[in-house]
Chains A and B, each alone.
Chain A
Amino acid sequence: MVGAACAFHLARAGCSVTVVDRGAVAGGTSGAGEGNLLVSDKEPGPELDLALRSQELWRELDAQGLGEGFEYEAKGGLVVAFTAADLSALRTFAATQRDAGVLAEEVAAERLSEFEPHLAPGVAGGFWYPQDAQVMPALAAARLLRASGAEVRLGSTVTGLAVSGGAVRGVRTTRGEIPARYVVNAAGLWSGALAELAGSRLPMQPRRGFVLVTEPLPPLIRHKVYSAAYVSDVASSDAALQSSGVVEGTPSGPVLIGASRERVGLDRTPSYDALGRLAAQAAELFPFLERVAVQRYYCGFRPYLPDHLPAIGPDAHVAGLFHAAGHEGAGIGLAPATGEMIAALVAGEKTVVDAAPFRPERFYSEEAQP
């Protein structure tokens, strides 16, 4: 997704672009996650700024007629608190978000059913976030890539960088060398290996997530709904299983419930505990789901960096090389603003969102001397 967005913005800025991937389109994490475009779960800071800018760009893409091709839905999010304590924490959180430009409106318990008629009774209250939206991520990546007009080389693995005089000259792939003045590393979880080729360090780690998919249902769930506990999960770096199921309907019918968060390396062994947790949380929000059939689940690995911010910007060692990776659980949402930032940095222009917090070299100083 990130690579497709970079290609789109670079091409729009006038570059001729070639996109190289060892697999298919959306064959990495982008094809194994969900497509929540959320501002509601983000605390004020650089990530929220990037998310807000991205929301604008997603809306623009939709206005250009691309949205339908990837099921863009500006449906809004509803965060609900089950206890008075959760509600007051949420209220405080929402107040700080509002100062940063997020639209958030408190919804009293008795009005929640106007938003979600099938929501469980006994909820303390909630917040309505009209900016939250949703896309189908694999289609978004494929459609954006196609709209970019870039030349696409699938099934080619990048094995090396061509560098001379401290500047990049292209990439070496299993299917030959591709000359280029600029190279963007948008290899997600695998971007650390590409950074190493330049002698740089991106300490990328995987965080596993499962998503449950139900049988197709009529539209019974209107928005993205999740419990306030999610907010504390996202910022956590605890290894243990955490999850706060975001429940959402899709245009094709199935309800998606996801996603769990675990740091277990690249282990694909199904965790029926994680699936059970997601199911229990979804049933707590929407009791009618108890009787709905789950048809499948899938699992993916979010690429994250130690400070939970992506690396976006020039490499410190090799001129012409840029990194755009490590978006953890928000890479779909953040992709358009990331692409825009990369295009501006390549052109040497001022970025819309401040790029400084995303500097890739922020990890190099940790590098141990051999």
Chain B
Amino acid sequence: MTAVADTVAESAAGNRYDVAVIGAGPAGMAAAAAAAENGLHVALIEGGRQLGGQYFRHPAPGLNEPWASQLHHGWSRFETLATRVETSSRIDVLFEHQVWAVEAGFNILTDRGPIAAAHVVLATGSYERVVPFPGWDLPGVFTAGGAQALLKGNLVLPGRRVVVAGTGPLLLPVAASLSVAGAKVLGLFEANHIRGYAKHPLPLLKNPAKLLEGADFARQFLRARVPLRSGLMVVEAQGTDALEAVIVARPDGTHRRRIACDALAVGYGLAPQIDLALTLGCEHKLLTDGTVALRVDTNQRTSLPGCYAVGETAGIAGVESALVEGEIAGLAVAAGVAKSRNGSPAALRRRRDRLRAFADVLRARHPVPPAWRDHLAPDTLVCRCEEVPARAVAEAVEDLGATDARTVKLLTRAGMGWCQGRVCGYAVACLARRDPTEPPNPADLLAAAKRPLARPVPLGVLAEQDRRNK
């Protein structure tokens, strides 16, 4: 159960902000700083307790390890950004405010009461995409980003002998941090077959500017001698009470190999966290990897007047892009309020376009291999929150008349638990197709991105809404 906050954000009592920025990751921080430096009053609303989001996640004061400083690259950039945010008299940073919905106009509904703002910038980042396989619910199996967050935020290693697997560029920094922190990384297995992957895990860049943290890490990798393999995926995790080994194989099940390990970090990419915007009615677009992102214009404006989207919400593109887009949106909102024509500088927008183009290349290289579903056993849990096995999903689709993901959910409860389908949504969208060769239905992928409440909200907070009306 969640505690009911009895205080409404003091700073919000009665007044209306020029702009509310939701999410204090790189994108949100940059947006807040740029808007405030151009004269706007900003509420920077963050569910957690620190600035920095996923990329700049850092341990609470007091926690330390000799290798901790090596987990972050470009830390001085965070310090500069944090100073811009913290020293501004025009920014109210509201930590531990969970935004559960946004009303048009805008009224930001949080678990500590509503916050009014003329504009809103959505900077809510992403969540991880995973697909089930036998044994994935064993202790010792982590998501790739989860392992990274544990390390960056708590300085805790998920295990000593670790396998990193799945697909996407995030696997590179994850494997590198694990190895920096002293874990033996037994291998990094990229599920998509990519020529020359071991030498060049990232596509060669035309633009020499460092575009991704991974590029830097990749070099460290070679030094740390982590074997990089592509075209292989984890098809099974084994163990009685905890993880003991993984089976790695080609997507078609051949070339099986058992690797003894005590931790697995596995991820199939990231998906934009855009539930607030979808409920508000912002237009979306389906990307090549089956993720759904917000549609934005060159100034990061969504289809809804006054509503902007930056960073991962506009499509997964990494920290550099998040930082630039934050600046663009902050400047664009300020220009709009000042009724000035000068929005964001063209140079910033060009840089953003290059970063986005690079992200599109990466996305196209890292789809989820459709063969993942061939490795499910009947009792493999598809939805862990509600403990729904693959067998139940198959029954719903084959015998009970579920022709879409929504009906699978209704008939099996998959996606109705704590994570509200963030974990199993993609898998259920795939499994709702009776014919495994058919890609998931776009409507089902959209449904997987949509949640009426972006965060659980204490019933008393909803009730307060009614009492205020009286």
Contacts and interface: CB of A to CB of B under 8 A. Distances in A.
Contacts of A273: 465-466, 469
Interface string A1-42: 000000000000000000000011111000100000000000
B402 A294 contact: no
A290 B463 contact: yes
Interface stretch (A80-88, A103-111, A141-149, A190-198): A141-149
Contacts of B452: 270, 296-298
Interface in A279-328: 279-280, 282-283, 289-298
A146 B399 contact: yes
Interface stretch (A48-56, A171-179, A212-220, A359-367): A212-220
Interface stretch (B213-221, B289-297, B373-381, B405-413): B405-413
Most chain A C-beta atoms within 10 Å of own C-beta, residue among B402, B459, B467: B459
Contact of B465 (A154, A252, A279): A279
Given A142-B411, A273-B469, A297 B460 contact: no
A204 interface: no
Interface string B448-460: 0001110011111
Q: How large is the interface on B (under 10, 10 to 19, 20 to 34, 35 or more residues)?
A: 35 or more
Contact of B456 (A25, A215, A252, A282): A215
Given A280-B466, A297-B453, A291 B1 contact: yes
Given A24-B404, A291-B4, A272 B459 contact: no
B199 to A, nearest CB: 47
A154 B458 CA distance: 39
Nearest to A290: B460
Contacts of B400: 25, 142-143, 146
B383 to A, nearest CB: 12
A246 B456 CA distance: 21
A295 B455 CA distance: 7
Contacts of B279: 270
B459 A283 contact: yes
Contact of B459 (A269, A270, A277, A279): A279
A139 interface: yes
Contacts, number: 135
Contact of A292 (B1, B402, B410, B467): B1
Interface in B13-66: none
A273 B103 CA distance: 11
Interface in A41-100: none
B401 interface: yes
Contacts of B407: 24-27, 31, 138
Contacts of B467: 276, 280
B459 A289 contact: yes
Contacts of A298: 452
A269 to B, nearest CB: 8
7 contacts: A23-B404, A24-B406, A27-B404, A31-B406, A143-B400, A252-B386, A273-B466
Interface of B: 1-4, 101, 103, 109, 279, 281, 386, 396, 399-404, 406-407, 410-411, 413, 416-418, 420, 451-453, 456-460, 462-467, 469
